[in-house]
Amino acid sequence: MPETHIQTAFDRDLEAIQALIMKMGGMVEAAITDAAKALETRDEALADMVRGNDKAIDELETRVNEEAIRVIATRAPTAIDLRTVVSVMKVSGNLERIGDYSKNIAKRATVLTQMSQIHDTAPAIRRMAQAVELMLIDALDAYIKRDAKLAEDVRLRDAEVDQMYNALFRQFLTYMMEDPRNITGCMHLHFIAKNIERMGDHVTGIAEQVIYLVTGTLPEDNRPKNDRTSFQKALEE
Amino acid sequence: MDDMRIVERQLDQQELKIKADNVQVYYGTSHAIKDVSVEIEDKTVTAFIGPSGCGKSTFLRCLNRMNDTIDICRVEGQILLDGENIYDKKVDPVQLRAKVGMVFQKPNPFPKSIYDNVAYGPRIHGLAKNKAELDEIVEKSLRRGAIWDEVKDRLDAPGTGLSGGQQQRLCIARAVATEPEVLLMDEPCSALDPIATAQVEELIDELRSNYSVVIVTHSMQQAARVSQKTAFFHLGNLVEFGETGQIFTNPVDSRTESYITGRIG
């Protein structure tokens, strides 16, 4: 199919919205890295910066939605164009949530700097954050390249993030049982790990939107889920 | 697609109204319709879309043998209406056209009064026993054509004195007056303003509860709004025929996609 519309202004509109998504994606990627780094290096200034930057991400989401609504109203998009407009709205929602989770990690990182370090859990959390960030980079890459195969790959990789979360969950549980003074810190760390696990789900959502955009249908099979903490007994009573 | 309209349609299981098999149409040596097979359901609005000259109007005109009037036109293949071949020698084209009504792109009222324009069909087909019944048919038809309120006080005025949009709605009223089973519409709204267009579209949706409607339109949005099935024609071929929601969200053929999204194709 030819790539361009007869009305070139339509192409410009669609490109402009997708450029906003990419800009948002870049900001969210940075937020994930910086939040994890602030936690590991106990860098309060960096954590503050992540918290401050979230506002810009939220504003971009609003703009993406406004632009998408304008295109729907003025251009009545159909087929691939319609799927593009619908997907940018969903992807921007996913990105905005990931931004919120990063902000929350930064907030907890600030609290954690006031406490003594609990064992050496920060590198494991950073690795988990890195895995999610790489997934996000690939998901956005798949979006721009309209690559459903890459998106499917991203979608399956979420299982690894779930596994990392399970491992951390057990680790925190052990530390809390060892010494009740660890509870406050571990609770914060656990929420951080949970936030990253949720980010993985949102990246998966983006990957699914790519598949919908390219093929016109959402993947039907249930992707493998490895977050089993809800079934784990809290304590071996 | 779980479009509400589909769910609705699946509930009242559709019957086949028109079945076209391997239809070929030639104008002299030019091959205008190439091997088109399509099934048009009863109580359904089917839209034909496609670029100018793609054959959609030609195909529409085959459905009530309007092409008979063109000497160089030759139709091959089979078109069944309720299982009967309409090109059979026994079929009277006049009777056929009472069953398969038509509304054209350009309004073409008879040079008669508004009343007589609508009463003409019912009169020649003997649908009314007396004047009172005929009055009733005329009023009902004009109401269905969404023009009653504008003309009720001047039914004796000539139909040709109305505005273009009013004339078109008069023609629709005239077409529905004989209670056709199938209504063919060739660009019925191209001369109408948005309000009259909406009224005609509402009328089309209403007609759907009793009849089968086939509409040719250049307005993609109109096809999407009024139809349940959409057929895309290109260079005399039927490229894609499917549920309207599917055609407009996820067409199978790349030519359909290029056309409906306004890309050069």
**Structural domains of chain A, ranges and CATH numbers in brackets:** 2-235 (1.20.58.220)
Q: Is B139 on the interface with A (CB under 8 A)?
A: no
Query: Would you say B264 and A2 are in contact if contact means Cβ atoms under 8 Å apart?
Result: yes
CB contacts under 8 A, A 57-96 vs B, are: 76-83
CA dist A39 and B72 (Å) reads 83
Q: Residue B42: pLDDT above 90?
A: yes
Predicted confidence at residue A85, as pLDDT, reads 96
Q: Is B257 on the interface with A (CB under 8 A)?
A: yes
Q: What would the mean pLDDT of B54-63 be, rounded to a whole number?
A: 93
Predicted confidence at residue A235, as pLDDT, reads 43
Of B221, B248, B264, which is closest to A79 when you measure between CB atoms? B248
Predicted confidence at residue A227, as pLDDT, reads 66
* Count of pairs with CB atoms under 8 A, one residue in A, one in B: 47
Of A2, A10, A81, which is closest to B265 when you measure between CB atoms? A2
CA dist B105 and A109 (Å) reads 70
* CATH number assigned to the domain with residue range B16-106+182-260, chosen from the 4 options 3.40.50.300, 1.20.1290.10, 3.30.930.10, 2.40.50.140: 3.40.50.300
**Which residues, 6 or more positions from B22, have their beta carbon under 8 angstroms from its beta carbon?**
B35, B36, B37, B76, B77, B78
- B192 is written with which tokens? 């109408």
Query: Would you say A224 and A156 are in contact if contact means Cβ atoms under 8 Å apart?
Result: yes
Cβ-defined contact of B258 to A77 (cutoff 8 Å): no
CA dist A156 and A170 (Å) reads 23
Predicted confidence at residue B145, as pLDDT, reads 84
Tokens 């005239």, residue located: B174
CA dist B194 and B228 (Å) reads 21
Predicted confidence at residue A72, as pLDDT, reads 93
Cβ-defined contact of B261 to A78 (cutoff 8 Å): yes
Of A1, A4, A10, which is closest to B257 when you measure between CB atoms? A1
- Chain B residue with minimum CA distance to A86: B249
Average pLDDT, chain B: 90
Q: Is A7 on the interface with B (CB under 8 A)?
A: yes
In chain B, domain spans: 16-106+182-260
Predicted confidence at residue B11, as pLDDT, reads 47
Predicted confidence at residue A219, as pLDDT, reads 87
Predicted confidence at residue A236, as pLDDT, reads 43
Return the percentage of chain B with pLDDT > 90, whole number. Answer: 69
The phi, psi pair for B167, rounded to 5°, reads -60, -40
Q: How distant is the Cα of A216 from the closest Cα of chain B, in angstroms?
A: 6
CB contacts under 8 A, B 217-256 vs A, are: 220-221, 224, 248-251, 254, 256
The phi, psi pair for A42, rounded to 5°, reads 50, 50
**Which of the residues in chain A have pLDDT under 70?**
1-2, 223-237
A interface mutation test: which of B220, B250, B259 has the most A CBs within 10 A?
B250
- A147 is written with which tokens? 């690559």
- Chain A residue with minimum CA distance to B264: A6
Q: Residue B258: pLDDT above 60?
A: yes
Cβ-defined contact of A216 to B260 (cutoff 8 Å): no
By C-alpha distance, which of A80, A73, A148 is closest to B247? A80
**What tens digit of pLDDT does each residue of B197-246 get?**
888 888 888 888 888 999 999 999 999 999 999 999 999 999 999 999 99
Query: Would you say A50 and A110 are in contact if contact means Cβ atoms under 8 Å apart?
Result: no
Which positions in chain A touch B257 (Cβ < 8 Å)?
1, 79-80
Reported pTM: 0.81
Which positions in chain B touch A12 (Cβ < 8 Å)?
none
DSSP string, A97-144: HHHHHHHHHHHHHHHHHTS---TT-HHHHHHHHHHHHHHHHHHHHHHH
Q: Is A114 on the interface with B (CB under 8 A)?
A: no
Cβ-defined contact of A77 to B251 (cutoff 8 Å): no
Of B249, B251, B264, which is closest to A2 when you measure between CB atoms? B264
Q: Is B52 on the interface with A (CB under 8 A)?
A: no
Cβ-defined contact of A82 to B263 (cutoff 8 Å): no
Q: How distant is the Cα of B251 from the closest Cα of chain A, in angstroms?
A: 7
